[in-house]
Amino acid sequence: MSASIAATGRAVFSPLGGAAAPDGAAVAARSGESAVPDGAAVALNVGDTWLRPFEAGRMEALRCAEVPGLHRYCDTQGIAALLEAVVQKLRAQGARGAARETVLACAGATSGLACAVSALADPGESVLLLAPFWPLIRGVVRSQRATPVELPFFDRIATPGEATAALEAACPPGCVALYFSNPSNPTGRVLAPEMVEALADFARRRDLWILCDEVYEDYAFQGECVSAARFAPERTISAFSFSKAYGMAGNRCGYLLTPNASVCDGIHRASVHSAYHAPTAAQWAGLRALQSGADWLARARSFYRQAGEAAAAALKLPAPEGGCFLFFDVAARLDERGMTGFLEDCWQRGVLLAPGASSGQGYESWVRLCYTAVPPQEAEQAARRVAELL
Amino acid sequence: MSASIAATGRAVFSPLGGAAAPDGAAVAARSGESAVPDGAAVALNVGDTWLRPFEAGRMEALRCAEVPGLHRYCDTQGIAALLEAVVQKLRAQGARGAARETVLACAGATSGLACAVSALADPGESVLLLAPFWPLIRGVVRSQRATPVELPFFDRIATPGEATAALEAACPPGCVALYFSNPSNPTGRVLAPEMVEALADFARRRDLWILCDEVYEDYAFQGECVSAARFAPERTISAFSFSKAYGMAGNRCGYLLTPNASVCDGIHRASVHSAYHAPTAAQWAGLRALQSGADWLARARSFYRQAGEAAAAALKLPAPEGGCFLFFDVAARLDERGMTGFLEDCWQRGVLLAPGASSGQGYESWVRLCYTAVPPQEAEQAARRVAELL
């Protein structure tokens, strides 16, 4: 772009829906585990957790004297100990293709997925997104000059047969990849194994990569949550994150499982030229999470499940099957002010929600509520305040 | 890319030249400040520092109880306190355009520059690189689907008149930006203010953005180091980093100064869709560096200057004017094994160097030596061992 043609107007950056993520500097710490401020609106628009990381996984537990090279560059693929722990974790889950040369530490799952799109999709090629989707993915695809194609799915496709028919109808020529999150952000749905198998079969038939967003894998409350890699390991790039699972969203660290070393290399190259490498300290924190975070995780899962069930009950919705969100249609409540007015009404009642439009076309009258951003009781109270508006 | 066409062969990722950056897990900590291992080869191929960050800027000094939202998402532009401190720092340096809406915290200068290229260059447009250059920039430009055009400069252009003539001859149609680092990585040259002004004038005449890599601004030992923003603030994107200045390379945090809010917004959008935001803890560490890192910086500058002078003397080179590197031609010493053989000979004498080819075409017989990666005496000894080979 010529320097004389500056971008016009302020863009809306927040994938979180209108309001930006809360600024750390503006969030007063509360005693105990919660970092939620007193007195402010309850920010359920952000996909975050109210829990602090377990003690050994906090920055203050990473000591120069104990952690070599803590503030220095590291291997751009990831520190060896983390890669090894990731391989062990994935193999224990049944991922036989997990090996030192097929996993990549990335600067958050966002960076990992952006690098995967960069490596696997040429400009103008399409990526099929199962909607409603994680609000960032559409921009991630566009930012890599590829074309997002949206397929409404999670709220309406019930059977593998319906899935295959819908995919056949929606998948354009020049499509190179299929993206979906499971458990689903924002719907909270956990896809049944036979559904994931149908997606994998379709991808194989059409020779698509599968970008399988598994950042909520640890928060499946109902049903069996399986990876597409179980059915199509030769074409699945799985994205994982320490952000959601261990309360380390600010750390910006996740990892990818790729089908083979050459795909991993291609994504690694994109990572080197955009992030250089995942933050070193965050990788050590992630390693500690894999080594000793199990108890914290079990406790968090219990909190989150309780919060999800209570918030859903308050809103007369089915309990979420997984993830951190409720996603529901408020069309009947919208007046001439549209979604903006509804979000303002929620805000006046002290609750921030995210608009559904960022999760796909056709979801303009839906909203997303993150029930893990505050302690369960606060989430339930906030859900009640929203319910009163409906 | 179709899933059936996997990338072929293992790519060479390391912009550091052949050998990867040292893996934190494999580096034994030594007592005191140095994190350099005993007994291993001296890794002068990597642009890193042997010094640990000052105490208040270490991860272990960032405590949950004191730093709100330390492990959580933050404002994707950067935490407010850091942005404010950056604005104050830049204004104190004379950057009148520095304001809350024109600065962006980024996940390292690498990410910031990648996002700037993404926002400002369309696929197929060119970016003119003054060579020899920072080894990553060529791949950064290519990764964004733009075309790098190389202009040998730092080792041969002495006057503003020569610079203008060389730029006129090299700048292709469809060029949208000019990139250079000052102090220069890898040459150690500090461009005179009138040279920077000539570059800025040329950019204005050709309506180019200027990507001004200032990550070594704190390590200018001779002459006055000025930013292109002094002469062409309306088109200069300056990249800064805490990595080099404060020994925080692993943290992955830097910042950009942009010409105006709309350019900043465009780069911010690319950042959200690739990095989401700079790591939260790293931003707090960076804030502390700006608040209380001055003494550490002065001491580091003294160490680095001493190391650079001693290493240069050992190699019979002029003392570096700034930065962290020596860059010199070893053509007379190359045998039929070429650069690989020379690097192997260095390695056998316990010194790792980076090959010049990664800094530009025409520098295949040059090598880069980072004299700040180990304590000054070790750097000098390593330089002597290299000198014995010449």
pLDDT tens-digit readout, A318-363: 999 999 999 999 999 999 999 999 999 999 999 999 999 999 999 9
CA A180 → CA A132, A200, A216, A359, A375, distances in Å? Answer: 9, 11, 12, 12, 28
Identify which of B3, B13, B65 has the shortest CB distance to residue A207.
B3
| Per-window interface: A 295-324 vs B, CB < 8 A | none
Calculate how close chain B gets to A335, using CA atoms only, in Å.
31
Instruction: Report chain B residues whose CB lies below 8 A from the CB of A252.
Output: 107, 252, 275-280
Please give the mean pLDDT across all residues of chain B. Answer: 91
Nearest residue to A174 via CA among A199, A148, A138, A197 = A148
In one-letter notation, the amino acid at residue A327 is: F
The answer to whether residue A32 neighbours chain B at the CB level (below 8 Å) is no
- Residue B226 to residue A215: CA distance in whole angstroms: 45
CB of A102 within 8 A of CB of A242? no
CB of B371 within 8 A of CB of B308? yes
Calculate how close chain A gets to B260, using CA atoms only, in Å.
9
Identify which of B20, B75, B274 has the shortest CB distance to residue A274.
B274
CB pairs under 8 A between A and B: 357
Instruction: Report chain B residues whose CB lies below 8 A from the CB of A260.
Output: 6
Closest chain B residue to the Cα of A29, Cα to Cα: B68
* Residue B23 pLDDT exceeds 70: no
Identify which of B1, B66, B252 has the shortest CB distance to residue A275.
B252
The arithmetic mean of pLDDT across residues A1-15, rounded, is: 43
Q: Specify burial of residue A92 (Cβ count, 10 A radius: 0-12, 13-18, 19+).
A: exposed
DSSP-assigned letter for residue B381: H
CB of B225 within 8 A of CB of B217? yes
For residue B350, what are its two tokens? 């316990």
Query: In this predicted model, what pLDDT tens digit does every residue of B178-195 receive, in sequence order?
Result: 999 999 999 999 999 999
* Residue A245 pLDDT exceeds 90: no
For residue B203, what are its two tokens? 């950019």
Q: Is B59 close to A252, i.e. CB distance below 8 A?
A: no
Query: In this predicted model, what pLDDT tens digit does every residue of B132-190 receive, in sequence order?
Result: 999 999 999 999 999 999 999 999 999 999 999 999 999 999 999 999 999 999 999 99
With cut-offs at 50, 70 and 90, classify the pLDDT of residue A1.
low
Calculate how close chain B gets to A94, using CA atoms only, in Å.
22
Which carries the bigger pLDDT value, residue B37 or residue A260? Answer: A260
With cut-offs at 50, 70 and 90, classify the pLDDT of residue A151.
very high
With cut-offs at 50, 70 and 90, classify the pLDDT of residue A48.
confident
Flag the least confident range among A381-385, B23-27, B253-257.
B23-27
CB of A310 within 8 A of CB of A278? no
For residue B233, what are its two tokens? 């603030």
* Residue A17 pLDDT exceeds 60: no
Q: Is B108 close to A140, i.e. CB distance below 8 A?
A: no
Output the pLDDT for position A2: 60
CB of A179 within 8 A of CB of A318? no
For residue A111, what are its two tokens? 């960076």
CB of A123 within 8 A of CB of A147? no
Q: Is A250 close to B136, i.e. CB distance below 8 A?
A: no
* Residue A10 pLDDT exceeds 50: no
